[in-house]
Amino acid sequence: MTTFAFTPPPQPSVAVAGSGERFPVRRVYCVGRNYAAHAREMGADPTREPPFFFMKPADAVVDDGATLEYPPETGNLHHEVELVVAIGRAGFAVPADEALGLVWGYGAGLDLTRRDLQTQAKDAGKPWEWGKAFDHSAPCAPLVAVAAAGHVNKGRIWLSVNGAVRQDADVGQLTWSPAEVIAAISRSMRLEPGDLIYTGTPAGVGPLVRGDRVEGAVEGLPPIRLSIAG
């Protein structure tokens, strides 16, 4: 029997739609600039460069309906709505035409970003983590199993703040499809059940302030809703 120096923290998890079960979270992978229009609005080249990645801690995941405190050390908190892929089977060096076999389900999530800290890091040639991997930075709606909803390769993806739509696109506009993203990650490290992949955000990202109400969704999946405490 393993004895720990102190009680281990709870297992991070995400709700499963229509069920009392929860999906245990192992790792959170995120894809950068995976919609051409978003790449352009961030001042980057929208050509189809190889996908690149950053990560968030598993306990950054937050359930739908949460009220979040405005995070410290930033004056420019941004919303980024994303299709989330939940991995249910292990795989290493998986070809793209077999990659969807690893998928357990899908959800809608937010990659909250301390944009000022991210920009400072990029300008200095330093890692993005302080702008991306902070507490509660990965809200996620309840996941829907592939068996219930099929695979998600197209459909509206949108986000509103206080009822006004800011982001509005189609998942089919992803530069790198979910299958291609899974294949790319698996060439570098072994994907395992419990991994989440935030697949990138469309154009229209912008700031959130105290008191804002946020709602986002991917067509056919439950919405993600949260509030920023006043």
For residues 94 and 70, what is the distance between their CA atoms, to the nearest angstrom?
A: 39
What average pLDDT is seen over the chain?
A: 95
Is residue 176 a part of any domain in this protein?
Answer: yes
- The pLDDT score that the predictor gives to residue 42 is 65
Distance, CA of 200 to CA of 110 (rounded, Å): 10
pLDDT beneath 70, residues of the chain = 38-39, 41-46
Q: What is the pLDDT of residues 14-60, one digit of tens each?
A: 999 999 999 999 999 999 989 877 667 666 666 778 889 999 999 99
76 domain-assigned: yes
- Give CA separation, 190 vs 11, 59, 93, 224, in Å: 20, 20, 8, 28
Let me know if residue 1 belongs to a domain.
Answer: no
User: Is residue 8 situated within a structural domain?
Assistant: no
Domain assignment present for residue 175? The answer is yes
d(CA 2, CA 148): 38
Q: Looking at the domain assignment, is residue 59 inside a domain?
A: yes
Q: Which residues pair with 84 in a beta bridge?
A: 107, 198
What is the predicted pLDDT for the residue at 149? 87
Q: In whole angstroms, what is the distance from residue 224 CA to residue 230 CA? A: 19
* Residue 35: per-residue pLDDT: 87
- Would residue 17 count as lying in a domain? yes
Domain residues for 156? 13-228
Tell me what pLDDT residue 44 has.
67
Burial class (CB in 10 A: 0-12, 13-18, 19+), 23: buried
The values of phi and psi at residue 188, to 5°, are -105, -35
Amino acid 49: pLDDT: 80
Domain presence at residue 140: yes
Q: What is the pLDDT of residues 147-158, one digit of tens each?
A: 998 999 999 999
Q: What pTM was computed for the model?
A: 0.96
Provide the CATH number for the domain around residue 186: 3.90.850.10
Total of domains in the chain: 1
